[in-house]
A and B are shown apart, each in its own frame.
Chain A
């Protein structure tokens, strides 16, 4: 899409203005929500389209990707190209700016997601990943997060070097794999009109029944009045399932973490063993050489000691990073959930008195 590249280049000539926030169109929010909800519990992804203007990434359109794109990479890219072409025909911004993925209880930290986002950010430096948590959204408060890999992580991932040393040098820890961008949501004027319309929809029933065009079905129960009548899902008191599920996930992740730790300890032990062997060998040679020097013999030829004792390569710490990040995520989630829930509990306590 050369024309678009030119356009985006025209808007930001050096491409140097970093993105500091993400603006989602109302339609995009609903599209993501619908797509993710319909395909529960499978994880689904889709493309985001839009433009970055002055550091704000405006996402104006999105489309879902077919589910089984693992086995047919060609089909998926074919689909994408065709979709983009079609959307351009109806004047949609066909400039890809990232992708979205659904998640359940925030378990999105995994290798494939990182790889996907890495590829994206490699190709389009201003792309963003929107994570939508279906389980949390259905509790009454929509849960969207805009994430980008940090430059430090990008660099390391490019070099595929995840040794402890490299991580320390890059100051990379689990908490700065991703940077989170604030999200704003924008309605167009017409949409605002629509929302007002939806809010007052119940009044239109009387007006229009005469010619059968009820906006809300006349058969609807009187309890569900206006479309935007306040919902109190947020006030739901059932905390057990959520906390239980969260803890279950947390436990699984901690198991993974434990395993990873075992691997690391194993590596450390083998390094130590090799090092000991090496040291013993060197000491041996030293005494041997000293003895030979005393008896006037030439010292032993220098051998490549490093080649004799192979220090095993440090296992990649990426998994460890991701798992830590995931654990942190769960803990945060529990805390975020616990705050309002405590409030609710005490409110109920008061009510009971």
Chain B
């Protein structure tokens, strides 16, 4: 195990035997470490991969993000590509480029710091360890995160995995390290959610393109979606009642919760609320249209002057 081979790839159970001897205590619980990724990062990585140089089979780049105070949670919010060159016996990463880009990013987003790096392809090789060592130095006392994306689509999946590293061996050498997988989830916000939804619309069209939806169309889609869900649920409930499907307690409890969320409003009260809202809205529409008419009249009058 401790011979001169440049990298070691160990399976996870080895953590407690090989790594715990040299690793800082925090590494003993890799489970406490988790990452969340903004979908933008995936999109950027794929874009970078598509724009790679001819003959290059993987691309790498720097991940930016924010850390929780104790460093146990990392939120990856952005990334940028870094050019590198891999040959049979050596790897070159354009460190100057990496620095410049980071400086530039800092001007726009001072909160985001370097949290690690990404690479495409599912494989981890000896160069991964070398590059990781560099990024480990960049993040100093924290763990550098390594994110891989399987662009070759092995198993027909775009497997995304995140790792942190643990040193392996008695002497700490740059290329002796072990990648420990850590959990990773996807995090986004409301506005991004809307964007993603739109992009998801495009996925089933052949050309992979879509146009923007108006608010009305969007509402229609949502209503159709809800209808489908209701149908599915009532179908399920019916078949449970008929005894064709065994009842699932968890599902039942969820359904119960959902039904109880529907607020119970007194009919007269509701009527009042409904009407006042409706009147408000109609009034606003009326006024808005009035204003527009005024503008149009003004427009015409101006021409007469």
Contacts and interface: CB of A to CB of B under 8 A. Distances in A.
Given A183-B212, A233-B190, A327 B291 contact: yes
B72 interface: no
B160 A191 contact: no
Interface residues of A, number: 108
B71 interface: no
Contact of B192 (A34, A65, A332): A34
B186 A339 contact: no
25 contacts: A30-B196, A31-B40, A37-B189, A82-B100, A137-B195, A173-B302, A185-B211, A190-B50, A191-B208, A204-B157, A212-B30, A214-B183, A216-B185, A220-B185, A227-B186, A232-B226, A233-B190, A235-B226, A239-B277, A243-B284, A324-B299, A331-B288, A331-B292, A340-B219, A352-B267
Interface stretch (A7-15, A140-148, A289-297): A140-148
Interface in B212-265: 212-216, 218-219, 222-223, 225-226, 229, 265
Contacts of B153: 193
A308 interface: no
Q: Which 5 A-B pairs have the closest CB atoms?
A: A217-B185, A27-B43, A331-B288, A141-B218, A138-B190
Interface string B59-102: 00000000000000000011001110000000000100100110
A189 B202 CA distance: 11
Q: Interface extent on B, as a size class?
A: 35 or more
Interface stretch (B19-27, B103-111, B134-142, B165-173): B103-111
Nearest to B303: A168
Interface in B144-164: 151, 153, 157-158, 160-162
B56 to A, nearest CB: 10
A151 interface: no
Interface of B: 12, 30-31, 34, 36, 38-40, 42-44, 46-53, 77-78, 81-83, 94, 97, 100-101, 104, 107-109, 151, 153, 157-158, 160-162, 180-186, 188-200, 202-203, 207-216, 218-219, 222-223, 225-226, 229, 265, 267, 270, 274, 277-278, 280-281, 284-285, 288-289, 291-292, 295, 298-299, 302-303, 305
B109 A64 contact: yes
A211 B199 contact: no
A345 B108 contact: no
Interface stretch (A83-91, A119-127, A279-287): A83-91
Contacts of A79: 104, 107
Contacts of B208: 186-189, 191-192
A216 B194 contact: no
A213 B161 contact: yes
Nearest to A93: B51
B107 A182 contact: no
A342 interface: yes
B209 A324 contact: no
A35 B109 CA distance: 9
Given A33-B191, A141-B215, A213-B181, A187 B209 contact: yes
Contact of B195 (A75, A142, A233): A142
Contact of B289 (A89, A235, A331): A331
B136 to A, nearest CB: 20
Interface of A: 23, 25-27, 29-31, 33-38, 60-61, 64-67, 75, 79, 82-83, 86, 89-92, 134, 137-142, 144, 164, 167-168, 173-175, 182-199, 201, 204, 211-220, 227-228, 230-235, 239-240, 243, 247, 250, 254, 324, 327-328, 330-332, 334-345, 347-349, 352
Contacts of A182: 211
Chain A binding surface, main DSSP class: helix
Nearest to B207: A186
Given A64-B109, A79-B104, A89-B83, A218 B183 contact: yes
A331 B285 CA distance: 8
